[in-house]
Amino acid sequence: MDNKDVVSVLNDLIETSKDGEKGFRECAEDIKSVQLKTLFNQRAQECAAAASELQQLVRNLGGDPETSTSVAGDMHRRWIDLKSMITGKDDEAILNECERGEDVALKSYKKALEKDLPASVRMVVEKQLQGVQRNHDQVKSLRNMARAS
């Protein structure tokens, strides 16, 4: 892959990370549990740090890093807002939407790793994928607990 292609892949992941940051912040605002608010705010900070790390890689490659969320992520959040107005914002519903966002992030990171990335970039993307997988699994577990109660 040439630098332009690598920058494009990284910019897609930056949008994904920015979507995660914004999504977790919105979940933190809407969730009732103080413990989950803290967790979601922490996850939002981790997504912001991931985006920043990817932005630095883009700069190192001579590219112009993405700074915003994706259109698809924005549309998903608007859908959640509309759905919440109709159905209410219970913790299980919020956790469901949070998990759906993490499903999208997992797919984006796995798609990026199908590319022929330079070793130093691949290492960062693989490390971040582990964080996305952890977030997904934790949100899914919390959702299952909310559903059971």
Residue 72 has pLDDT above 80, yes or no: no
Mean pLDDT (whole number) for 110-122: 96
In this predicted structure, which of 33-37, 57-61, 69-73, 122-126 has the lowest mean pLDDT? Answer: 69-73
The residue that leads in pLDDT, 54 or 71, is 54
On whether the CB atoms of residues 109 and 51 are closer than 8 A, the answer is no
Mean pLDDT (whole number) for 17-46: 90
Taking the domains of the chain in order of start, what are their residue ranges?
3-148
Mean pLDDT (whole number) for 95-117: 91
Distances (CA, A) of 141 to 82, 108, 126, 137: 25, 21, 23, 6
CATH of the structural domain 3-148, one choice from 1.10.10.10, 1.20.1260.10, 3.40.50.1360, 3.40.50.1820:
1.20.1260.10
Q: Helices 34-60 and 3-30: crossing angle, nearest 10°?
A: 170
Q: Over the chain, what is the mean pLDDT?
A: 87
In this predicted structure, which of 2-16, 91-105, 118-132 has the lowest mean pLDDT? Answer: 91-105
Distances (CA, A) of 123 to 56, 112, 145: 14, 12, 33
3-class DSSP state of 67? coil
Counting residues of the chain whose pLDDT is more than 90, the rounded percentage is 59
CA angle 144, 108, 88 (to 5 degrees): 40
Q: What is the dihedral of CA 85, 86, 88, 93, to 10 degrees?
A: -100
Rounded-to-integer distance, Cα 86 and Cα 32, Å: 18
User: What DSSP state is assigned to residue 68?
Assistant: S
- 42-60 pLDDT tens trace: 999 999 999 999 999 999 9
Rounded-to-integer distance, Cα 136 and Cα 149, Å: 20
The pLDDT score that the predictor gives to residue 77 is: 56
Rounded-to-integer distance, Cα 137 and Cα 43, Å: 13
